[in-house]
Each structure stands twice: as structure tokens, then as C-alpha cells.
A and B are shown apart, each in its own frame.
Chain A
Amino acid sequence: MGGRNAHRQASWGKGLGVAAALIFLVTWGLGVIDPAGWGASAAFAQETTDALPAGVVAPQQPSEADYPTIAGVNSRVVVWLVAQLHLWFAAFVLAVPIFVFIIEAIGMATRDERYDRMAYEFIKVSITAYSLTAIMGGLLTFCLVLFYPHLFQYLAGIFKETMFYYALLFFAESACLYIYYYGWHWLQGGFRKWLHLTVGLLLNAVGTVLMFFANAWLTFMMSPAGVDAGGVFTGDLWGAVHNFLWNPINLHRVIANIAYGGSIVGAYAAYKFLSARGSEEKAHYDWMGYTANLIAISALLPLPFAGYYLAAEIYAYSQQMGITLMGGIFAWLFIIQAVLIGTLFLSANYYLWCGMGRSDGGVRYHRWVKYLAIVIIGAFLVWFTPHTLVLTNEELKALGGPYHKYLGPLGIMPAKNTAVNIMILFTTLSFILYRRANKVATVSWAKAGNAAQVALFAAGIANILFLGIYHGYFTNTVYKVASSIPQVATTLIIIVASTVLDRFIYRGANEVGPIHWGRVPDRAQYALFLLAVAFTWLMGLMGYIRSGIRQHWHVVGIMRDNSADAYTPTLGYAANVVSIGTVLFMAMVIFVFWLSQVSGTKTHPAGYWKERRA
């Protein structure tokens, strides 16, 4: 009887969960799909036009003297650091619920409690981070109001409704997060578990909406819409929100957040692994680190394409901005980016190669590792080669032009696209080999299946090379750019097809050597630290590029930056600020991790408390 009740409740729960999923998808979809065709934008604009106050929202152009100075600090650096710190924490607290939700769901599907416990441990780490995110956000708002009052007044005039709802939504976010975390052990089993999962889904939905709101404000500063040429607000709030770069940033940030969150949690697990006592603890944190790395890599694979899409949209919006970004003064920043992304891929792959040793069967694949390494390093070097060299006149004469005769051609976009696609494919290969390490296929067609896998990769690589070399060097600019799309498609198809094929090949496979969680060298953990640090630094760099491309504008083409710091700094200076930010962030994260640990520590002070008569 109790069983039937529980079953009915579980069904209710499932229904609720499905309904919540639909709500989430619809809310998210509304953000991504243009609702103009649904009449929503007209309704939105109508609402705000009717409510338009007598005062007109227009930018005031402050002179240099109008920018307040407080306590002698450099206002630009302060806002830069605070904004970046806020972003790092926000990315983390948005990402963790995504994969906690997924891991909890996997736990529910497999009824393996280890997943549930790991999910709980992940969300525990993010609770303190949540407070820090809010603190940084509040500090950022203060700094903007104090240091850039005219800009803030203009933006608030346009976005006042969104800012208001943004603030209110934090009630919902907090409610969801605290119920999700504090109610974890209470909401267990049957219907309650479904309810708990639904709360997790809502947490993700609210967090994503919050991010989309904030994304509207910053993308408006880059690609303003809903205002006329003089910056006067037309009343079209949806137009201002749904500006050119809004959706590219939305997509890029959702994917990047997941990758980033995975890397931070991986660093946490790596640290706990290194300080673990006993093989069981080591095994637990090894598994955690592997899962976190898996999440980071899975999101890392499509990330270059999201970034390329973002850059392409910047280019389509303003050719001038696009060229400054990739061919002008910001071009060298992308070489730094290439070094960082190469680090990320090498680090993630290295971790996988070390991990193959967890199973005795992994030795079979050791000999292939060096070839994977050679290709990935080679692709990285191509990616890292610049096209145009910034040279003095003497150097120009000596070289005979602004490019290197042989290496120069490797610097153009088609070569780089080819390189990154190859890097991604070979990372997929590393992963496939890792997954095979402890298994032997038992299906009768295993040999043919292997041949098919190799053929799939070979054909795909040949296609990528064809597209990159033929269209890259024997056609014109339009073809060069257009050919990157089938390249991406090829890579994505291979990732999906090879993963599916391998599942079939290894159906009912024999475990040739069980996976010994915990049996992994310490240097593998340093690969995880490298991943986290490089990711953080890279995010800081990209944040600088995105913001810096506005150059001497607060709102591009509409509101000029007339402060003393309006100049675009040198790359070294920018890198130094990013580095300082990274150190500050790491310090705060260490604090966060320490807190999550210390809450479980008890001290029994002898003789401190009064003796109580029994």
C-alpha cells in the first residue's frame, strides 16, 4: 500500500518535473529565439512606449573633470577587477547547478548513491561562492554608480525595468539554492527526490535568466539598439535587450560557464586528492576529479565554435570593430589566447593519458599516446603562429615584408580553424582510448568496427584538411570564412558518430582490468590545477578583450568615454591586471574551499565549558 502511494507520488513528481522542464525550456527559448514573430516584442515595446515618462533618456557626455575620484584609486582598474571577480564567481555558481542537476539525475536513473553524494559535495562548494558572487555584484554596482555616474544613469534609464526584476529575481535564486542545498537530505526518495530535482531545474532556469538580463546591459554597450543615432532611447526595451550581440554572448557564456565550473571543481578535487589520507578517500577524489575534467572537456569541445560565432557577429555588426579585434591592435591578444587554449587542451589530454593507468588494460594504448601528443602539439603551434608581425622598419627590410615567408601563411584563419578542429578531434580520440582502457570488445564485428572508427576519423580529417587548405589558400575571403562552417560540422559529426559507434562496439564488453580509482600519479592532479588556473586567466583575458574593444566609448558610437583612463592600455598592462585579478580570485576560492571543509570540523576544548551535573 505504501508502495503504491509512493509510486503515485513519484508519478506526480515526474509530471511536475516535466512541467518544470517545459517552463524552463520555454523561458530559455524566449531568450534565444526572437519572439518578434510571436507578437511579444510589439507588446513589450507598446507597454514601455505607453509608460514612457516626459523626461527623455539620452546620454550626457561628461568631460574629464566630471569623473569622480575616490580615495585616489584608479577607477578603471577598480571597476575592471571587481567586474572580473564578479564574473568569475558568477560563472562558477551558474555552472555548478548545471552539472549538479545532471549528476543528480544520473544518480536517480542508476540508483547509484555515489552520484548523489558527489552532487551534494559539488553544491556544497558553491554555497559560499554564491555569497561572494553577490558581494562582488553589489560592489560592482556601487563602483559603477560612484565612478561612472553618467554612464550608469543612462543605462539605468534604458534598462530600469530589467534591473528592477533582476534584483527581485535574486529572491527566487536564493530560495531555490538554499532549498536545493539545505533540503538535500530531507528530500530523498520517490516523490521528494523528483521535487528536489525540480528545485534544481528551477535554480538553473532562474540563474540563466539572471545572466541573460546582465548580458543585455553589457552587449548594449557594444552594439547599442533601441536608441537613435544620438543615443536617445526610443522606448523599445526589447530592442535594446535583444541587440546584435546578445544571443552570441548568451550562447558563449552558457557553454563557457560549464567548462569553467568543471575546471574549478576539478581543482578542488585535485587538492583534496593530494591531501587525502587513505585509499578510499583518494579513490573518491580521483573519481570526482575525473568527472569534473570530463565535464570541462565536454564543454570545451564546442567552445571554440561559440567563440568564433561571437567574433563573426561582432564583425557583421561593425567591420571596424571586427578588424580591430582580429587584425588590428587586439590581434596579438588572440595569440596569447592561442597559448592559453593550447595549454588547456594539452592539460586536459595529459590528464586523460595519465588516467589510462587506472586500468591495467591501459598499457595497450600507451604507444599511441606519443602520436596524439605530437599532433596536438603541432596543431597548437600552428594555432599560435601569428600572421602579420609587428616589426620595426629595419626588421621589415630584413624579412622583406610584414610576414614570415614560410610561417606567415600558417597565421591566417583557415589554418587556425583547421588546427583547432584537429586538436578537438584528437582530444576526442584521447577520450575514446581512455574509455577503452579497461575493456575488451566481445562483439563479433569488433575488428570491422575498429576499422570503421579509423576510417571515420581519417575521412573527417581529410575533409577538414581539404576545406582548410583548398578554401584557405586557393579561393577568396568569402569562401575562406564560409568553409569554416562545414569544418565545424565535420568535427561535431565525428564526435557524435564515433562516441555512438564505440558504445556499440563495446556493448557487453569484458572488463580486462578494473578501474582502480585513486591509482593515478600526482602529476595528473597538477594538470587539473593547470586547467583551472589557465581557464581563469583566459577568462580574464577574454573579458578584457570584450570590454576593451569598445576602446574610447562607454556605449559604442553613442556615449564617449572622456575619462583620463579612456586610452586603450598595452597588452602587458592588461595582462598584469588580469594576473592580479587571478591571484585575488584564487585566494578567495581557497577561502571558499577551506570554509566548506572547516564547517565539518569540531574542536572539543577541554575544561572550557562548565561541567553540567548529570
Chain B
Amino acid sequence: MKTFVTVVGFSLLVIAFFAGYSSFGIPQIRPAPPPQEEELDLGAMGMEEFIALGERIYEGKGTCTLCHNPVGGRAPPLEEAASVVEDRLADPIYQGGATDVVGYLYESLAEPSAYVVAGFGKAGSGDTVSPMPNILTGRIGLSEAEALAVVAYLQDLAGFEVTVDIPSETVETPEPAAAEQRSLFATPEDAIVELACGGCHKIAGEEGELGPDLTGIGAHKDREYLRRAILDPNAEIAEGFDPEMMPEDYGEQMYASELEMLVDYLAAQK
């Protein structure tokens, strides 16, 4: 019995020590409460309030400072973010489609991998993939208005004049725009340029190396093969090349007449 009491007493003491240390031996951080959907009265906001909203999001719901801080060195500092945009847009490694400061900053929230600052890429990706998530979805899920507020804040932070337009009401994240009606490709060369075939293939003066050489392809492949190779590339892979490389959606990017025009062109390459 004595043993039992001693052992139980010892165990309770040990547990009390750990519990006590956790409560009194280390600082009691009260984590931020779960983010609530803030009712934004955008119509009533002046630019000052909009920038202040951006700052609140930057330090709160957006969790930007979790990574963008000088302590951990995990993400580039953002104090001068607005000033470097010009250089970034001109940089050959830039993959995105923005044309101005606001566009670039907004894009870096939605598509962080469009430009990865040297040394901050995911391990093993050679600085081509950013570890930053898409801020507009998933865990953080900022609305478009909130994201624009952050952009405004960043512009202001770098000492620039804010050129963001305050959205007139809480805008829904826009649906991906349906492919617009475009005019037909005039020539096969136009199609090849627009569809970027030369990025992977040697064709029409382009020197792509990732896929089979298409000069003279008409001499040994028939139209059936050529049509299928464009619409369903993985049905048959040329010897020495990898599967799953060529996009499979070219069928949705062309009109039937354009497809036939291309097939004719390739069949004529002898």
C-alpha cells in the first residue's frame, strides 16, 4: 500500500511540474481568435480607411507577417515592395501577365509563383515555385476587396501614391472568364505562333527541343496520326520522348477549320 501511495504521489508531482511549467514557466500567449468575415462598408470608405483596412488585414487575417518578417528570413521583406515592381516586370524570369504596380502586387497574392525572388523558392525547385499559397483561396481566403486593400497598404508603405480603386461593393471572386470569341487564325504559321508549338517542337522556323522534330513530319506520318497527335497527345508517344508533356486541351483551343488547316500544313511538311 505504501508503495502504491508513493508511486501515485510521485506521478502526480511530475504531472503537476509539467503543468505548472507550462502555465507559469513560459509566457502565456493568447493566440488571435479565428478570423471573422468583416462587414466592409466600402461605399463609405475614404482612401485613409481603405489603407487602414489593408494594414489590419496585413497584420491579422492575411497572416502576412507570419512569413514576411526580418526574424525568420522565410519570405522577402515587403516594405519596399511597390518600388521594385518596375524591375520585376522587366525581369526575364517574370511569368505573369501584370503590367502595372497594382496588377503585379495583386497577382503576387493570387499567383505567387509568377515571380519568385532568388533564394526564396521551394527547396529543390530552383527558385521557380514559391512556397506562398494563393491568398485568395484556401486557409486565408481574402476577398478581392480585402486583397486590394492590402495592395493599397503596400503602396502606401513604400511611400507611393495609392493608385488602387476602392471597389464600389464587395465584389465576388470573378468566375474564370469564358474564352472570348476570337477571329480565326489566318494562316497555319499564325496558329503555330499563337498556340506556341515552337516552344517544344522544331517547326516553322522555331527551334523547340522538348518534343519531336516536326520538320518533314508529313513524309512519314499520315493525317490521321497528325490529327490524333494534336487532339490526344498521350495516345501514342514518339520514341525517346516522355508522356504527359504535351497539353491535352488543344482540341478546345481551336476551331475545327483551324485544326484541319494545321493538319494540312503538317502533312505538307515533307
Which residues from chain A sit less than 8 Å from chain B, CB to CB?
Answer: 229, 271, 274-275, 316, 318-320, 323-324, 327-329, 332, 335-336, 339-340, 388-390, 402, 476-478, 481, 526, 529-530, 533-534, 537, 551-553, 556-557, 561, 566-572, 574-576, 578-579, 582-583, 586, 590
| Complex contact B29–A390 (CB within 8 A) | yes
| Complex contact A571–B10 (CB within 8 A) | no
Q: Which of A402, A533, A570 contacts B71 (CB 8 A)?
A: A402
A537 to B131, CA, bound (A): 34
| Complex contact A556–B139 (CB within 8 A) | yes
| Complex contact A323–B72 (CB within 8 A) | yes
Q: Is B245 an interface residue (CB 8 A)?
A: no
A557 to B3, CA, bound (A): 51
Q: A533-B14, A583-B15 are in contact. Are A318 and B29 (CB under 8 A)?
A: no
Which residues from chain B sit less than 8 Å from chain A, CB to CB?
Answer: 3-4, 7-8, 10-12, 14-16, 18-19, 21-24, 26-31, 33-35, 63, 66-67, 71-74, 119, 122-123, 131-133, 137-140
Residues of chain B lying within 8 A (CB to CB) of residue A336: 18, 21-22, 26
Extra 4 A-B pairs, beta carbons < 8 Å, given A552-B35, A583-B15? A526-B10, A529-B11, A557-B137, A572-B23
A570 to B28, CA, bound (A): 6
Most A CB contacts (10 A, CB to CB) among B10, B23, B132, B139 go to B139
| Complex contact A551–B138 (CB within 8 A) | no
- Give chain B nearest CB distance to A209 CB in angstroms: 32
User: Does more than half of chain A's interface fall in helix, strand or loop, or is it mixed?
Assistant: helix
A534 to B13, CA, bound (A): 11
A557 to B138, CA, bound (A): 4
11 contacts between A and B (CB under 8 A): A316-B122, A320-B67, A388-B71, A390-B29, A476-B119, A529-B7, A530-B10, A553-B139, A575-B23, A579-B15, A583-B12
Q: A320-B139, A477-B74, A575-B22 are in contact. Are A537 and B15 (CB under 8 A)?
A: yes
A586 to B139, CA, bound (A): 38
- CB closest chain-B residue, reference A271: B7
A569 to B31, CA, bound (A): 7
A274 to B4, CA, bound (A): 9
| Complex contact A529–B28 (CB within 8 A) | no
| Complex contact A529–B10 (CB within 8 A) | yes
Most B CB contacts (10 A, CB to CB) among A567, A572, A575 go to A572
Residues of chain A lying within 8 A (CB to CB) of residue B34: 551-552, 561, 566-567
Residues of chain B lying within 8 A (CB to CB) of residue A320: 63, 66-67, 133, 139-140
A347 to B63, CA, bound (A): 40
- CB closest chain-A residue, reference B14: A533
| Complex contact A271–B3 (CB within 8 A) | yes
A556 to B139, CA, bound (A): 7
A-B pairs with lowest CB-CB distance, top 6: A575-B22, A552-B34, A572-B23, A557-B138, A319-B131, A568-B31
A182 to B111, CA, bound (A): 62
A275 to B16, CA, bound (A): 25
| Complex contact A575–B19 (CB within 8 A) | yes
A574 to B23, CA, bound (A): 9
Residues of chain A lying within 8 A (CB to CB) of residue B138: 229, 557
